[in-house]
């Protein structure tokens, strides 16, 4: 039981940044915007969260810095694609490259330094429950935020008038505009929300998962998050499930080595990305389901009538 508990704890830690980045991108794509810059926003959040924590001594201020950095960085994407109507795919790729470069510059003075790890919050009484207590009631605040954000997004999208407008914009932005819905403003807000979630995911990497700064420490998680949105068919609770499945795959290499399983470490390191490719192939095979769930306006530019 002790070994199983330790494994599940590492799965939770590995899955949390994937869940956060994916749920933010899900909201962005629900409005018809495809932001491939998740990786860049994540690594910017990680760099800013770690540097702010080192400067202030408070990991909570570091979390706020990561969120703000991701949101502000996403505004650049929003300005280029929503205001200047630049190509969303090319702009997202450029945002990732820019984020990797700028974050490396920001984090250079802190390379190799150990940081202040975000301490878990222990819920009285519940944390003492055997097995379940340490898993669910003795976690850091970012874990609880990830669950709350998924629940909140699910409620917002499918239980509120504003969520209905968001889905309407993603399905047909021209019709939504004709009905008086502010398409560009809504998309800006969605892009900033996605950036904030990606920044929070990056903060989790540098303050919880590995409490130090390592250049390019997002290590492709932003691309996995993009695949998770498709895997989840743009449904929030499926994002949560997919995040934990991919989190389990990503930490399998550590436990395989601990158990002495004779599998090359290079293969295990590539396993999460191989699993991503396999999942995308399986999903694309069922074109009917994919077309039904994909926002019809995804990736399409919108210029309001003047």
Q: Which two tokens stand for residue 292?
A: 């039904």
Q: Could you give the maximum distance between any two Cα atoms of the chain, in Å?
A: 66
130 or 92, greater pLDDT: 92
Q: Which two tokens stand for residue 243?
A: 């995040």
Query: Which residues, listed in sequence order, are joined to residue 114 by a DSSP beta bridge?
Result: 212
Q: What is the mean predicted confidence (pLDDT) over 51-80? A: 95
- At 198 the pLDDT is 97
Quick: pLDDT tens for 195-206: 999 999 999 999
Instruction: Give the length of the chain.
Output: 306
Average pLDDT of the chain to the nearest whole number: 89
Nearest to 115 by CA among 200, 191, 208: 208
* Highest mean pLDDT out of 50-54, 229-233, 255-259: 50-54
pLDDT at 97 over 90: yes
210 or 264, greater pLDDT: 210
Give the pTM. Answer: 0.92
Q: What is the mean predicted confidence (pLDDT) over 9-20? A: 93
pLDDT band at 290 (very low <50, low <70, confident <90, very high): low
Nearest to 22 by CA among 42, 8, 50, 7: 42
Q: Are 213 and 103 in contact (CB under 8 A)?
A: no
Please report, for the chain, the start and end positions of each structural domain, with discontinuous segments joined by +: 2-293
Quick: pLDDT tens for 117-140: 888 898 888 888 888 888 889 999
- At 254 the pLDDT is 67
Lookup result for tokens 């933010």: 24
Q: Which two tokens stand for residue 189?
A: 């807000």
Dist. CA 182–CA 31, nearest whole Å? 11
- At 111 the pLDDT is 82
pLDDT band at 53 (very low <50, low <70, confident <90, very high): very high
pLDDT at 298 over 80: yes
Nearest to 251 by CA among 7, 1, 4, 2: 7
- At 289 the pLDDT is 63
Report the range of poorest mean pLDDT among 20-24, 94-98, 249-253, 264-268. 264-268
pLDDT band at 247 (very low <50, low <70, confident <90, very high): confident
Long-range Cβ contact pairs of 54-58 (< 8 A, separation 24 or more): 54/110, 54/113, 54/115, 54/116, 57/116, 58/116
- At 62 the pLDDT is 95
CATH class of the region 2-293: mainly alpha
Other beta carbons within 10 Å of 305: 6
Q: Which two tokens stand for residue 191?
A: 């892009």
pLDDT band at 255 (very low <50, low <70, confident <90, very high): low
Q: What is the mean predicted confidence (pLDDT) over 55-78? A: 95
């Amino acid at each position: 039981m002790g070994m199983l508990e330790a494994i599940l704890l590492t799965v939770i830690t590995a899955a949390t940044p994937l869940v956060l980045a994916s749920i933010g991108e899900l909201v962005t794509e629900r409005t018809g915007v495809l932001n491939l810059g998740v990786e860049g926003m994540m690594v910017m959040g990680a760099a800013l969260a770690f540097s702010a924590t080192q400067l202030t001594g408070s990991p909570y201020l570091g979390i706020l810095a990561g969120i703000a950095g991701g949101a502000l960085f996403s505004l650049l994407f929003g300005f280029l694609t929503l205001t200047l109507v630049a190509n969303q795919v090319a702009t997202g790729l450029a945002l990732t490259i820019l984020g990797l470069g700028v974050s490396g510059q920001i984090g250079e003075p802190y390379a190799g330094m150990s940081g202040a790890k975000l301490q878990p919050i222990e819920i009285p009484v519940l944390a003492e429950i055997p097995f379940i207590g340490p898993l669910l009631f003795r976690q850091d605040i970012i874990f609880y935020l990830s669950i709350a954000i998924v629940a909140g997004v699910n409620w917002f999208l499918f239980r509120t008038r504003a969520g209905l407008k968001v889905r309407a914009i993603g399905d047909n932005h021209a019709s939504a505009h004709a009905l008086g819905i502010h398409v560009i403003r809504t998309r800006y807000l969605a892009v900033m929300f996605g950036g904030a979630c990606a920044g929070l995911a990056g903060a989790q990497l540098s303050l919880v998962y590995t409490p130090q700064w390592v250049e390019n420490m997002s290590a492709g998680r932003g691309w996995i998050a993009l695949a998770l949105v498709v895997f989840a068919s743009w449904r929030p609770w499926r994002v949560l499930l997919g995040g934990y499945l991919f989190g389990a795959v990503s930490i399998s290499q550590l436990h395989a080595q601990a158990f002495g399983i004779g599998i090359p470490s290079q293969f295990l390191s590539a396993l999460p990305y191989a699993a991503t490719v396999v999942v995308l192939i399986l999903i694309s095979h069922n074109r009917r389901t994919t077309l039904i769930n994909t926002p019809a306006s995804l990736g399409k530019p919108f210029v309001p009538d003047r």
